[in-house]
């Protein structure tokens, strides 16, 4: 595409030409990315109530007829679907002799232990009590009051999402050696976007930062960012996006202007517990929930089956780099003087 065509490119088209530019010639952002500002924003996020809810999987990963085993903060848990397809979550060890319930059999919506046939359902059993859980249609949550330090809430704190009938959701999961705060801190540094992920972002400008005076409930506690998402070659989609932290382990990016307005990317950090080396492991469970009021997107949602893996791959690439950032942050701040 030549430059003349680029100059005539209509402004209202969602795809805009990108000046190829040189990575090193970008405006440095380290002056603006003040460590104290990021730390204060993180601290306010950590003071918000979580209600002790933890995201543990994509809803679609809890399939009928198959138990799903996982751990949160070192606690072994199991999830499955009952007869009505409702989510059930409980301790992952059988109350009889401790068999792994992640390997149990499902019969008529109940979990049947493989070792001696104990049957468990949402009614519980002596020594085994199901835990409060929530399926929001995209993500599965469990409430762990003995681990969380918040007052219990009836349901998890979830921000606004595009209407379910118009949205395409994809969930990517990765894990790294760090704590949830390191994942959240990475997301609360929007300045690294075009420098650290030049394959995905360009022309990134942080338009507004949270004021340090906010009380923790203030909905204006946000970053407002203008950014162009690269879609290959010399084309990109310019948008405005806001970053907020509705609860201590979540950062939500919402597109508020431009193509896909209303779409959100929810990044959830869930502590898994220590790994074999004693260092903490944290899962990043990221839901991309895309919306568009543009004609044709409704049809595109029929292609969700094909779009989902592409969306997941894009998120996974970004997160490989962001996990390296979060793991590095963890090592830096926990380094013992040698
Ligand atoms: S260990 Fe589960 S029934 Fe015995
Ligand atoms: Fe990033």
Structure tokens at 5: 């065509």
Give the position, in ligand 1's atom list, of the atom nearest the Cα of 114: 2
Please give the pLDDT value at position 1: 41
DSSP strands (E only) in 186-278: 201-208, 223-230, 235-247, 250-258, 264-274
Confidence bin at 119 (pLDDT 50/70/90): very high
Tens digit of each residue's pLDDT (9 = 90 or more) over 261-281: 888 999 999 999 999 999 999
Q: Pick from 115, 64, 111: which is nearest to 91 by CA? A: 111
Cα of 185 vs centre of ligand 1, distance in Å, is 43
Beta-carbon neighbour count of residue 199 at 10 Å?
Answer: 12
Cβ < 5 A residues, ion ligand 2 = 322
How far lies 315's CA from each of 223, 231, 319, in Å?
A: 20, 13, 6
Structure tokens at 160: 């606004």
Cα of 194 vs centre of ligand 2, distance in Å, is 9
Confidence bin at 300 (pLDDT 50/70/90): low
Angular region, 170: left φ>0, alpha ψ -120 to 50, beta rest = beta
**Distance between start and end Cα atoms, the chain:** 56
- Identify the weakest region by mean pLDDT among 77-81, 103-107, 125-129, 237-241: 237-241
Confidence bin at 216 (pLDDT 50/70/90): very low
Confidence bin at 154 (pLDDT 50/70/90): very high
Q: What is the DSSP letter of 137?
A: S
Cα of 44 vs centre of ligand 1, distance in Å, is 45
- Whose atoms come closest to the Cα of 93: which ligand? 1
Please give the pLDDT value at position 184: 98
- Identify the weakest region by mean pLDDT among 4-13, 28-37, 112-121, 285-294: 4-13
How far lies 309's CA from each of 27, 69, 251, 264, in Å?
A: 34, 23, 22, 17
Please give the pLDDT value at position 103: 98
Q: Pick from 325, 179, 159: which is nearest to 247 by CA? A: 159
b/e burial code for range 226-248 (CB count within 10 A of at least 16 → b) = ebbbbeeeebbbbbbbbbbbbbb
pLDDT at 113 over 50: yes
Q: Pick from 49, 52, 87: which is nearest to 67 by CA? A: 87
Residues with CB under 6 A from ligand 1: 94, 96-97, 99, 113, 115-118
Structure tokens at 38: 């990021």
Specify the higher pLDDT residue, 2 or 304.
304
Please give the pLDDT value at position 168: 83
Test site for ligand 1: of 90, 93, 97, most ligand atoms within 8 A of the Cβ = 97
Please give the pLDDT value at position 163: 86
Contacts of 140 (CB under 8 A, 6+ apart): 55, 56, 57, 58, 59, 61, 62, 79, 87, 89, 133, 134
Confidence bin at 260 (pLDDT 50/70/90): confident
Give the position, in ligand 1's atom list, of the atom nearest the Cα of 118: 3
34: Cα within 13 Å, side-chain hemisphere: 9
Q: What values do phi and psi take at 311, rounded to 5?
A: -65, -40
Query: Taking all residues of the chain, what is their mean pLDDT, rounded to a whole number?
Result: 88
Q: What CA–CA distance (Å, rounded) separates 318 from 174?
A: 11
Name residue 199's beta-bridge partners. none
Domains of the chain: 2-48+159-333 (3.30.530.20), 53-143 (2.102.10.10)
- Whose atoms come closest to the Cα of 127: which ligand? 1
């Amino acid at each position: 595409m030549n430059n003349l065509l680029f100059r005539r490119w209509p402004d209202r088209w969602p795809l805009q030409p990108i000046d190829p530019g040189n990575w090193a010639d970008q405006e440095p952002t380290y002056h603006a990315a003040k460590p104290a500002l990021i730390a204060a924003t993180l601290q306010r996020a950590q003071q918000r109530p979580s209600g002790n809810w933890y995201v543990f999987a994509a809803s679609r990963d809890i399939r009928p007829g198959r138990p799903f085993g996982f751990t949160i903060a070192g606690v072994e848990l199991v999830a499955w679907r009952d007869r009505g397809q409702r989510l059930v979550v409980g301790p992952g060890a059988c109350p009889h002799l401790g068999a792994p319930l992640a390997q149990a059999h499902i019969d008529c919506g109940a979990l049947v232990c493989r070792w001696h046939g104990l049957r468990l359902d949402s009614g519980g059993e002596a020594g085994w009590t199901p835990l409060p859980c929530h399926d929001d249609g995209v993500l599965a949550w469990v409430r762990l009051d003995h681990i969380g330090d918040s007052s219990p809430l009836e349901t998890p704190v979830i921000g606004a999402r595009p209407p379910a009938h118009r949205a395409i959701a994809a969930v990517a999961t990765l894990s790294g050696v760090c704590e949830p705060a390191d994942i959240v801190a990475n997301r609360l540094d929007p300045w690294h976007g075009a420098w650290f992920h030049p394959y995905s972002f360009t022309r990134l400008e942080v338009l507004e930062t949270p004021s340090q005076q906010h009380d923790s409930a203030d909905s204006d506690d946000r970053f407002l960012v203008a950014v162009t998402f690269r879609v290959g070659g010399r084309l990109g989609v310019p948008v405005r996006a806001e970053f907020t932290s509705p609860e201590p382990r979540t950062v939500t990016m919402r597109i508020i202007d431009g193509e896909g307005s209303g779409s959100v990317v929810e990044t959830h950090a869930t502590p898994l517990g220590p790994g074999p080396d004693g260092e903490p492991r944290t899962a990043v469970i990221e839901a991309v929930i895309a919306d568009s009021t543009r004609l044709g997107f409704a049809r595109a949602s029929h292609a969700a089956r094909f779009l989902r893996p592409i969306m997941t791959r894009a998120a996974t690439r970004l997160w490989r780099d962001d996990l390296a950032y979060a793991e590095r942050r963890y090592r830096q701040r926990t380094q013992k003087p040698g």
